[in-house]
Structure 1
Amino acid sequence: METSSEGVAEDAGAPAGAVAATAAVPRPVVAIAPASLSPSRAGDFMQCPLLYRFRVIDRLPEKPSEAATRGTLVHAVLERLFDAPAGERTAPRAKALVPGQWERLLADRPEVGELFADDPAGERLAGWLTEAERLVERWFTLEDPSRLEPAERELFVETELDSGLRLRGIIDRVDVAPTGEVRIVDYKTGKAPRPEYAEGALFQMKFYALVVWRLKRVVPRRLQLVYLGSGDVLTYDPVPADLERVERKLLALWEAIRRATETGDWRPRPTKLCGWCDHQAHCPEFGGTPPPYPLPLATVPDQARGGQDAQGTMGPD
């Protein structure tokens, strides 16, 4: 699982946790060229190269959102539930974890409290927490935690490909069967995509499968997306040829990022998602001006031309 800000510091080469620290205690941000790639940041570049720049290179602040914060809360509850013995992993127990995990989230990330700053009576917060409880409860209709013993939860994975590209991310859950077969599970608090968009949704999971394959030399038997918002489960069984295609795509994507980094040519790509972007004030599509580019620029004209071509060819898969 990755929220919109998760992985930014890591992709920029900063220590893990740097994003949360800068949010809590503002301090000057030192621009660092991208050094690794996560599923979220790969998705950012494919959606809009300029968004990638704002998040990874400029590291512009973003306001927390109710949806993303609720996702973080629900993930924390589902992770903590497995601390209990199998027979005690019940829906009432899981729902009872919600208030405590919310308080813990507030302590770790005080900025999320801004979401309800205009709610002195706590009515909107109460409704928001109730919705989180509903999502947690729905999970029990999709999986039976009393029959699961995850090998890993919130597992940070990282590997370096032969090309030198470093891939990293956080996997919600890894299940390992007695036979050694691996299942990668990711929780989504939104609704399942329509069938025509399912391939794009699986990109993140194939990314994780590639990392696990390169690390462990084992192709995961199953990739599973659990959509708590709609009560759907999307599964996919990868084969090596699938993951080799993902690797080639990531290498092409990284080359486009490298060229954009060297030339400073980060073009906006307008879509319907622009309405939710925090960076409209800095985006030329909305009459804004990006901050001065903080990294040194290459001077080879062919590189600029190549970067422009690469940015125009990346698709969702």
Structure 2
Amino acid sequence: MAAPRASGGGRSGWRPALSPSRAGDFKQCPLLYRFRAVDRLPEKPTKAQVRGIVLHAVLEELFDLPAQERVPERARALVEPAWQRVRAERPELAGLFDGAPDEEVAEWLLSSNKLIDGYFALEDPRRLEPEARELLVESELASGVLLRGYVDRLDVAPTGEIRVVDYKTGAAPRQIGEGKALFQMKFYALVLWRLRGVVPRQLRLMYLADGQDLAYTPDEAELRRFERTLEAIWDAILRAGRTGDFRPNPSRLCDYCDHRALCPAFGGTPPPYPGWPEPDAGQETALDRAD
């Protein structure tokens, strides 16, 4: 039987919830949050991001295979079908290769092999049976803040210990990137703790580009502090939403921002503030989770 998966996109009556990506956006730069969650400005996906979506699909489907068939050759064979499904489900991503010769697309697909090799250097999937993959998790805090996110993989030991696994298709980051990744993983750990009453034993980030991983063990006291951090972020989002005062916070990450030309910190002018129609924290997308 395939591991349980969760999918809730498009469900009617879904309450606005805070996702790890949007919370991280506001923490990094309130104006970036506004551009993404309020203005909903489009962002052009990169080939690396789209490849990340494909690789996440491959690693999810790998565990549909019988354990003995979870080998690198079978994983590589899943890449092309996964790309075809991504193209069919998200035509806007397929447009990344409009007008490109077939050889360029083929070379891009082959570049996934290095990431697959990086994955198999980190673990042997024949020895694992995850409880869940691409799992939608949500929990309401006592303050009323609703948290929602997607966990790449959830491993549960026979003793009940929980491990949260997140695939990163980039290389292991420096300090800023590592901090962002741990923020995301603590978010998942908090939601799972509130859902199950068990603090995850391990948060594991697997960096496939260079075959490295980062393991972290949270504790209750840390997650309580993190809970207060998320509540403070949500309160700040609501205050900014009422006033329209989403201020830029320039940093080295601005070099990678699609909206730099609209940022006052760089001489730009944001579009007129459209108002705050509802306290919507902004949903997380597949591109948010494709590294």
Q: Displacement, 1:226?
A: 0.4
* Native 8 Å contact 1:87 1:146 kept in 2: yes
What does residue 65 of structure 1 align with? Answer: 46
Q: Displacement, 1:193?
A: 2.0
User: What secondary structure does 1:140 align onto?
Assistant: helix
Cα gap change, 1:172 to 1:296, in 2 (>3 Å): closer
Q: Deviations over 1:203-222 (max 9, x none)?
A: 11111000000111111111
Structure 2 matches for 1:151-166, cutoff 5 A? 151-166=131-146
TM-score, with normalisation over the residues of structure 2?
0.87
Specify which of 6, 9, 12 is matched with residue 16 of structure 1: 9
Q: Deviations over 1:34-71 (max 9, x none)?
A: 93211111111111111100111111111111111111
* Native 8 Å contact 1:95 1:137 kept in 2: no
Cα gap change, 1:241 to 1:143, in 2 (>3 Å): same
Structure 2 matches for 1:109-258, cutoff 5 A? 109-119=90-100, 121-194=101-174, 198-258=178-238
- Does residue 89 (structure 1) correspond to residue 70 (structure 2)? The answer is yes
Distance 2:264 2:177 in 1: 29
Gaps of 5+ in 2: 1-7, 278-291
Distance 1:275 1:165 in 2: 32
- Does residue 56 (structure 1) correspond to residue 37 (structure 2)? The answer is yes
Distance 1:65 1:141 in 2: 26
Distance 1:193 1:281 in 2: 26
Cα gap change, 1:288 to 1:133, in 2 (>3 Å): same
Deviates more, 1:44-53 or 1:109-118: 109-118
**Which amino acid in 2 is paired with 1:98?**
V
Distance 1:190 1:220 in 2: 24
Q: Deviations over 1:181-236 (max 9, x none)?
A: 11100000011123686444211111100000011111111110000011111101
Q: Displacement, 1:280?
A: 2.8
Count of aligned residue pairs for this structure pair: 267
Cα gap change, 1:48 to 1:199, in 2 (>3 Å): closer
* Native 8 Å contact 2:24 2:180 kept in 1: no
Q: Displacement, 1:152?
A: 0.3
Distance 1:220 1:110 in 2: 37
Identity %: 60
Distance 2:120 2:135 in 1: 22
* Native 8 Å contact 1:154 1:171 kept in 2: yes
Distance 2:175 2:275 in 1: 41
User: What secondary structure does 1:141 align onto?
Assistant: helix
What does residue 108 of structure 1 align with? Answer: 89
Distance 1:72 1:110 in 2: 13
Distance 2:146 2:102 in 1: 44
Distance 1:17 1:189 in 2: 27
Distance 1:60 1:214 in 2: 33
Q: Displacement, 1:177?
A: 0.5
Q: Displacement, 1:283?
A: 2.1
Q: Displacement, 1:292?
A: 1.8
TM-score, with normalisation over the residues of structure 1?
0.80
Cα gap change, 1:17 to 1:227, in 2 (>3 Å): farther
Structure 2 matches for 1:282-297, cutoff 5 A? 282-295=262-275
Distance 2:176 2:246 in 1: 28
What does residue 301 of structure 1 align with? Answer: none
Deviates more, 1:134-143 or 1:283-292: 283-292
- Does residue 37 (structure 1) correspond to residue 47 (structure 2)? The answer is no
Q: Displacement, 1:16?
A: 2.4
User: What secondary structure does 1:111 align onto?
Assistant: helix
Q: Deviations over 1:111-141 (max 9, x none)?
A: 112221241x223222211111220122111
